[in-house]
Amino acid sequence: MDCTDPEWGALRSRKLALRRTLLANRKRTDQPERDAAGRSIRDAVLSLPEIQMAGTVAAYLSVGTEPDTRGLVFALWKRGTYVLLPLLQPDDDLDWASYEGPDSLAAGPRGLLQPTEPPRGVNAVTSADLVIVPALAVDRGGMRLGRGGGSYDRALARVGARIPTIALIYDDELLDEVPAGALDQPVRMVAQPHEGIIRLR
């Protein structure tokens, strides 16, 4: 969609408004709540049959008010899963590198922790047997709302149609509808602290 198109402007405005609301809601969660949500989500994701069979998982390290993922990433690595983590590029695309434990991380752009292992290229995500992504909200059709940079939409567009993709969200962030355009990519599941895994249409 052309960014000068009025429909694109209306879609962008709807996304911005929803994003502001969701971020404000997240700011009201404290660190112990985020940690507890992360532990519940970790246990739900680790119980997935798809993840138990996965040799390679693409994941991410949480930042700010996101449900904590450090425990999930560490648990996957400790059980022998090959874990890929993103490297944010200047154009907001995602390169990928392997996670080799907590000591293999360094500060990256925008407050992110990133792996220090050699980059494997933007197409490395295509080798993953399961992909875990952040989201501010997801609707029941699988459309996700991210932070607005398009990084994960580009990554998900590279992932095969049969590969499980899962977004990690809080319990009140599974919505009936999320505004979405032609470039927005759906996920196939969400994991929530109390509801656990929900498979989407």
Average pLDDT of the chain to the nearest whole number: 93
Answer positive or negative: Cα dihedral of 169, 49, 104, 118. Answer: negative
The architecture of the domain spanning 6-199 is 3-Layer(aba) Sandwich (3.40)
- Distance between CA atoms of 6 and 30, rounded to whole angstroms? 39
Nearest one of 159, 167, 95 to 134, comparing CA atoms: 167
Classified as helix, coil or strand, 93 is coil
Does position 6 have pLDDT exceeding 90, yes or no? no
Q: Which pLDDT value is given to residue 12?
A: 87
- Distance between CA atoms of 44 and 40, rounded to whole angstroms? 6
Nearest one of 56, 127, 116, 114 to 86, comparing CA atoms: 114
Does position 60 have pLDDT exceeding 60, yes or no? yes
Does position 111 have pLDDT exceeding 90, yes or no? no
Does position 3 have pLDDT exceeding 90, yes or no? no
> Considering the entire predicted model, what is its pTM?
0.93
